[in-house]
Amino acid sequence: MRINTRLKLAVSVPVFMSLFVGLALFFSYQAMEKDWKNGSLVRRIRSSVTELNTFVQSYIHYHEERPKRQFLVEYDSMTQLIAGIRLRNPEQQRLLDKIGLNSESMKDLFLRLVSNYEPSDPAGNAELLAKAEERLEGQLLIRSRDMDADASRLRSMVDDDIRRAQTRTFTLILFVVLFTTIPLTIVLIRTMKSITTSLSTLRKGTEVIGSGNLGHRIGMTTPDELGDLSDAVDHMTEQLQAVTVSKDELQQEVEERKRAEEEIKKLNDDLKHHVTQLEEANKELEAFSYSVSHDLRSPLRSIDGFSQALLEDYGGKLDGEGRDYLQRVRAGSQRMAQLIDDLLNLSRVARSEMSRVPVDLSKIAKDIANGLRKSDQERNVEFVISGGLTAQGDERLLRAAMENLFSNAWKFTSIHPRGRIEFGMARRDGQPVYFIKDDGVGFDMTYVGKLFGPFQRLHSPGDFPGTGIGLATVQRIIHRHGGRIWIEGAVEKGATVYFTL
């Protein structure tokens, strides 16, 4: 049984018992009150019967007026008393009725005695009167004794009723007390014992768990609240144990991550170091390249200048083949100079400081288009340039990049009688993507990966002049702006260069 139920029982049973005993006492008291009242009335009747006997005796002895009158007064009083009583016990009521009838007979006998003593005919037979008187007196005595016995018996019966009512009340209370107090005490003792034992088990269990033994379980199976508490503690311990295991794992993971971070940091540091080294090497390489390029220009100019001087001064002494060779020397040196210029440009693009400002790309495009038209006014090329395209960037570098791209478009549309070059902007994933599109010779997308490599060319210099440095330079400029660049195209269907900034 649950403790709550036991406690409810422990409270409700005494309440019920008190109520029951209270009600029993109330009704018992009411019954006893009535019995006491009846007892009091019966005692008065008994007293009246005694009084009537006394008056009869007194009258028999002295034949005086006083006992006669008192007899009649007492008789009336007793008659009224008897008429006012109703007894529950039919036997008692029968006795009471008998007393009433006997009292009537007694009164009748008494009046006949009086009448016999005070005859209307004084000249009557004195002997007969005396015999009648004797007979009446004898009957009066018998009646009075009978009444007295009945009144005495009635009183005993009523007194017995009172005693029985008291005994009944006492027995009832005793019964209720015995049959409720004893089981209640047993229930309370068992409850207390059960609670104490359970609490002790719980205390010991929690002490073991508190000492760190999370594998310990209290395991109480009592079907009450303390059993529930034991289950809850065991469940809590189980959870705690699981959490503790997770914590250990987490700690291990944190440590692993720390180690990983340290490794990453170390790698990063190494990388930075390598980058620095690389940058330094790059700078050295660029400086070397620049220096080499710069230094190469002077001998090249000498070769070209002296070759030109040889042609001009000694051209007549050479045959056609000789002059052709010289021409080729010049062309090679000039081409090499161009290459050196391009390499220097590429190097400058990588080395130069950037200054980010708003740049009007549309305007730059138009300037470049105008320049190209002027360079070859015979070509029929349509420029379509979207207006108002601006971007944040280094204007000088962006102009260089766009010049390269327009120059390529101009170049690769040259073999077509008519050309179309478009500069515009589209949006991809919310980002502005600029493009320069032409309808020139295009290229095979198979080789698209080679396009941005320095000195990489998909066409022969005979078809389209160039050093193969242009797109590499453009890519470097775009990368320095943090953007991306890619090309889409197809053979004879033109090409489109896309870039972001």
327 binds another protein (CB under 8 A): no
User: Which residues, other chains included, contact 457 with Cβ-Cβ below 8 Å and sequence gap of 6+?
Assistant: 466, 468
Q: What tokens does 403 get? A: 């010049």
122 binds another protein (CB under 8 A): no
Tracing tokens 């944190």 back to the chain, one arrives at 254
Among 187, 208, 311, 344, binds another protein (CB under 8 A): 187
Among 21, 31, 36, 160, binds another protein (CB under 8 A): 160
Query: Would you say 123 or 357 has its CB closer to another protein?
Result: 123
Among 128, 278, 285, 292, binds another protein (CB under 8 A): 128
1 binds another protein (CB under 8 A): yes
Among 43, 44, 153, 396, binds another protein (CB under 8 A): 153
463 binds another protein (CB under 8 A): no
Contact 486, 474 (CB under 8 A): no
Query: Would you say 51 or 160 has its CB closer to another protein?
Result: 160
Query: Would you say 120 or 298 has its CB closer to another protein?
Result: 120
Amino acid code (one letter) for 390:
T
Amino acid code (one letter) for 231:
D
Tracing tokens 């768990």 back to the chain, one arrives at 209
User: Which residues, other chains included, contact 327 with Cβ-Cβ below 8 Å and sequence gap of 6+?
Assistant: 311
90 binds another protein (CB under 8 A): yes
- Minimum CB separation of residue 11 from another protein in Å reads 17
Query: How many residues make contact with another protein (CB under 8 A)?
Result: 39
Among 105, 194, 201, 352, binds another protein (CB under 8 A): 105
Among 91, 207, 255, 279, binds another protein (CB under 8 A): 91
- Minimum CB separation of residue 116 from another protein in Å reads 8
Task: Reduce the secondary structure of 415-454 to three states and give it as a string.
Answer: CCCEEEEEEEEEEECCEEEEEEEECCCCCCHHHHHHCCCC
Q: How far apart are CA 342 and CA 345, in angstroms?
A: 5
Q: How far apart are CA 309 and CA 406, in angstroms?
A: 36
Beta strands across the sheet bearing 418-428:
380-385, 418-428, 431-438, 495-499, 485-489
Give the interface segment with another protein, choosing from 19-27, 126-134, 285-293, 406-414 (CB under 8 A). 126-134
Among 125, 200, 239, 244, binds another protein (CB under 8 A): 125
Among 135, 366, 379, 480, binds another protein (CB under 8 A): 135
136 binds another protein (CB under 8 A): yes
14 binds another protein (CB under 8 A): no
Strand ranges in 240-289 using DSSP code E only, listed in sequence order: none
Amino acid code (one letter) for 197:
T
Contact 272, 266 (CB under 8 A): no
User: What b/e readout covers 205-244, taking b as 16+ CB neighbours within 10 angstroms?
Assistant: beebbeeeebebbbebebebebbebbeebbeebeeeeeee
Query: Would you say 151 or 381 has its CB closer to another protein?
Result: 151
496 binds another protein (CB under 8 A): no
Give the interface segment with another protein, choosing from 122-130, 287-295, 381-389, 457-465 (CB under 8 A). 122-130
Residues in contact with another protein by CB under 8 A are 1, 90-91, 94-95, 98, 105, 108-109, 112, 116, 124-125, 128-129, 131-132, 134-136, 138-139, 141-143, 145-146, 148-149, 152-153, 156-157, 160, 179, 183, 186-187, 190
